[in-house]
Amino acid sequence: MRYERVPNNDVEAQTSSSSMMNNEEIPMEPPSYDNVAGASTGMLPIEIDESGVEVPQESYSEKMNRFRASFSNNIIVPVREKIVDPMAQFLSMLSEKLNFYLNKIGNPLILRRFFYIFLMSGITWFVMSSGLFPNERASGSRGTFSDHNLLMEYARQSMDLSKMERDLEYLSSMPHMSGTKGDYAMMKYVLDSYNNNGLKLIRDMDYMVRTNYPGNVTLVAYNGDDKLDFKLDERNFNPLSANGKLQKIGLIYGNKGSLDDLQKLKNEGLLEQDFILLLHYSDFVSEQIMAAEKFKAKGVIFISEPMGDDGDVVQTKSVAIPQYGTGDALTPGWYGSATANEIDPNDSKSLSHIPSLPISHNQGKKLLSFLGDEGVKFENGIFSGKLDKVQIDLEVEHAIRDHHAVDDIIGKLEGREQNDKAIIIGASRNSVSYGSTYPNYGTVLLLSLLQLFQEMKYKYDWKPLRNIYFMSFGGDEFNFAGATELIEERLTSMKDEIYTYVDVSQLGIWDDENKLNIQTHLLLNEFFNNKDFQMGYDVNVEHIQQYGNWIPYLANGIPVSIISSPSISKKQPPIDTSEDKFEALQKKLADPNIGENAEKLLMYLFQTTLKLVDDPLIPFKMDGYLREFENKLRDMATKYTDKLNFNAFGTGLGLWKRISLEWVSWIKAWENIVMSNEGGLEPSLIAVHRWTWNKKLSNVGRRQCSPSGIPNRVFYKNVLFSPTLWTQDEPNGAWILPGVKDAIRDEDWQRAQDQIDLAAKVFANSADLFIEENTDVGY
């Protein structure tokens, strides 16, 4: 039996009805035309004049109905019959099977709902994390990178100079020496700033270290029958000075107390009896103490520099000795204070073992006038005097705390890609006095940077490619105890994660020099020398030549950079004096030029941090590093050609040059693939290779360390780039091959050659490890 399909729309029904009506009107027989008059049986062309005939037109609705009927008959019905209905039948069978098995576990309805929730959550997470969700983002979506121009422009618009001024005013409102109530107030202020900016990962780390605080000090000078009793107070204080009482000890002036200065005095027979040294401060106070102890001085009196016409200010500089290591003096080189493994303070090489006392410039002039024009005349025109001329009573009785807390405040901004790699932005927090110029302004910059980065996060849902730690360190005046104890406690994890440290403590905006001094590792030389990123500053890039919170990182092979304003890094008054107050800077802050300086400096720091942490490739330049290092080796080899052989470095240099060529070649290939051909979209396989290169580069510094450290100074594991024991032969020189230079100063040529061979071996081994690390991605 055959069934006819029922019409499925009005068009078909009307068509059928019309057809039936027409059939009823057809006559039984057709009409006859044969008898028509004049008709011809031949076929002739018929011409019809249609000019007056109206042809019926199909309406628009009829066309649409006809199209709909055709689309339904030719597409929808076949798809439904051949695909949808079979699929529905299959899914129905599958659902029945699924219910059958789910019944064995639990209620199928509830289990299905759980599955639906998990599925939709996964889809939502994928859309949000991949950048496919439309919003205002500066972060690149999957395979792309951040728009730094957008971030820089927003940072420039959202800079809050009034908050910077408020921060500086509060931080300068009281003295805040480490471990005091003032320090606690500053620490809480910084901690609150971290929390108020929405930073999630915040730690307050406190460490027990040896400290001391101002106590009783007396100074009396005798010149024949003349007696001069100096008026002293808590300003006359050197952090970590030894206590002691000296009576009727001869005084002698020693210029800046260098080894050469004191040798001149010894050659003239002026150091044959007990003596106290009267010195002007030098750049390295620790070396002055070391030299004084080497020549058997009983004590040291430091003359402060005047602050303009004010000769009554006193500079309170620390006399810790970082040449042998930084951190707690009782646990040198390892973590843990108030424990059984402490050493005796008398055995600590990082402590001064003679009393010292700073006095003002005017007080120093009085003492110098007692000495007269006798003895050795120094380059500054001042005479040393003779030991039998002036006698000194000196008593220093400071309050010593063997186990006192210093605090570090740590905040972390997590990265979105390689979040096992990070940089540190660090700043000193403590000052014996008010510290407005230094270090408070560095803390202000740290808080402002943190605020800018958090604003980027909330405005654009942005994260850097790698982590950023914002660290406020305590314990600076106690041999950088806070920074050192932190890394000693977490040495392994920090060496694994941190690939560079940037210090911003020594920055200021108080002059129109428009200059920056940047001390940095050779790997970052070219990065900071790039004119495109200097924002109009006159930037001087040089080797590291100062001690600070960065030393424990440098000592363990982590590349460090110290960005400084030249006027601040020299630490001239009012820095380290009681006159370094906010009130002295308040008038300057009203100057529009100062505001422009502040904006420009903060933008420079923001841009530098952004490039270090958010450029796809860590900006270490191997070719520049090798070129500078090889030049230094060549200079030393030329200088000591008859005594030392530097050929052992040939193997390592050859390996590293090969690595450098591969790195440069890979960068070009990456830029060609990602930036040129893919329009900024990075294929996944290329991203994995980039992560591998970044990981290998971040390990370069730490692999160039020796567990045995430098002879007699085992704190410094970095045998290639660490401070020398004495800088006096090379005051502006690079801290390169310190073990070799120490041995050369001692004229121990065999030890010098051994140190060359050790450094060369470490250098070559680091290249071998770099090459072998190809498959170690770490993800």
pLDDT given for residue 611 in this prediction: 97
**If pLDDT is split at 50, 70 and 90, which confidence band does 74 have?**
confident
The verdict on 577 and 605 lying in the same domain is: yes
In a domain, 141, yes or no: no
Most confident of 47-61, 74-88, 671-685: 74-88
The verdict on 585 and 634 lying in the same domain is: no
The verdict on 712 and 754 lying in the same domain is: yes
Backbone angles phi, psi at 184, to 5 degrees: -60, -40
Check which CATH number belongs to the domain holding 256 and give it: 3.50.30.30
pLDDT given for residue 521 in this prediction: 97
Tokens of 353: 């073992």
**If pLDDT is split at 50, 70 and 90, which confidence band does 113 have?**
confident
pLDDT given for residue 768 in this prediction: 96
pLDDT given for residue 123 in this prediction: 80
Tokens of 524: 């970052």
Which residues span the domain enclosing 247?
210-401
Check which CATH number belongs to the domain holding 583 and give it: 3.40.630.10
Distance separating alpha carbons of residues 621 and 539, to the nearest angstrom: 18
Last residue of some domain: 401, 423, 455?
401
Q: Read off the pLDDT of residues 225-236 as tens digits, 9 standing for 90 and up.
A: 899 999 999 999
* DSSP state for residue 174 in the 8-state scheme: S
What interhelical angle do 108-130 and 85-102 show, nearest 10? 110
| Closest alpha carbon to 426 in 605, 227, 168, 216 | 605
**If pLDDT is split at 50, 70 and 90, which confidence band does 88 have?**
confident
* DSSP state for residue 82 in the 8-state scheme: I
pLDDT given for residue 512 in this prediction: 81
**If pLDDT is split at 50, 70 and 90, which confidence band does 23 have?**
very low
Number of domains the chain contains: 3
| Closest alpha carbon to 466 in 607, 604, 610, 562 | 610
In a domain, 99, yes or no: no
The verdict on 352 and 467 lying in the same domain is: no
**If pLDDT is split at 50, 70 and 90, which confidence band does 34 have?**
very low
The verdict on 411 and 525 lying in the same domain is: yes
- Type of residue numbered 605: L
In a domain, 225, yes or no: yes
pLDDT given for residue 91 in this prediction: 82
The verdict on 374 and 457 lying in the same domain is: no
Q: Which ranges constitute the DSSP H helices of 80-180?
A: 85-102, 108-130, 148-158, 161-171
Q: Read off the pLDDT of residues 482-528 as tens digits, 9 standing for 90 and up.
A: 999 999 999 999 999 999 999 999 999 988 889 999 999 999 999 99
The verdict on 436 and 573 lying in the same domain is: yes
The set of residues, in sequence order, having a beta carbon less than 8 Å from that of 234 and lying 6+ positions away, is: 214
Pairing of strands 466-473, 418-428: parallel
pLDDT given for residue 590 in this prediction: 87
In a domain, 52, yes or no: no
Q: Residue 465: count other Cβ atoms within 10 Å of its Cβ.
A: 22
Q: Read off the pLDDT of residues 367-426 as tens digits, 9 standing for 90 and up.
A: 999 999 999 999 999 999 999 899 999 999 999 999 999 999 999 999 999 999 999 999
Q: Read off the pLDDT of residues 437-448 as tens digits, 9 standing for 90 and up.
A: 999 999 999 999
* DSSP state for residue 775 in the 8-state scheme: G
In a domain, 718, yes or no: yes
- Type of residue numbered 335: Y
Q: Read off the pLDDT of residues 659-702 as tens digits, 9 standing for 90 and up.
A: 999 999 999 999 888 877 656 688 888 999 999 999 999 999 99
Tokens of 747: 């004229």
The verdict on 361 and 396 lying in the same domain is: yes
Distance separating alpha carbons of residues 182 and 446, to the nearest angstrom: 19
pLDDT given for residue 2 in this prediction: 43
Distance separating alpha carbons of residues 11 and 63, to the nearest angstrom: 10
How much is the average pLDDT of 137-156?
75
Last residue of some domain: 618, 652, 669?
618
Length in residues, the chain: 779
Report the Cα 159 to chain-centroid distance in Å.
20
Tokens of 150: 């957008």
The verdict on 483 and 537 lying in the same domain is: yes
Check which CATH number belongs to the domain holding 757 and give it: 1.20.930.40
pLDDT given for residue 615 in this prediction: 94
Last residue of some domain: 371, 386, 401?
401
In a domain, 315, yes or no: yes
Determine which helix (DSSP H) or strand (DSSP E) holds 608, and give its type and residue range.
helix 592-614
How much is the average pLDDT of 55-75?
77
- Report the percentage of the chain scoring pLDDT > 90: 73
The verdict on 466 and 383 lying in the same domain is: no
In a domain, 565, yes or no: yes
The verdict on 341 and 421 lying in the same domain is: no
In a domain, 63, yes or no: no
The verdict on 632 and 496 lying in the same domain is: no
Q: Residue 414: count other Cβ atoms within 10 Å of its Cβ.
A: 14
Nearest 5°: the CA angle 319, 321, 324 is 175
Tokens of 338: 């108030």
Q: What is the full DSSP assignment across 234-269?
A: TTS--TTPPPEEEEEEEEEE-TT--HHHHHHHHHTT
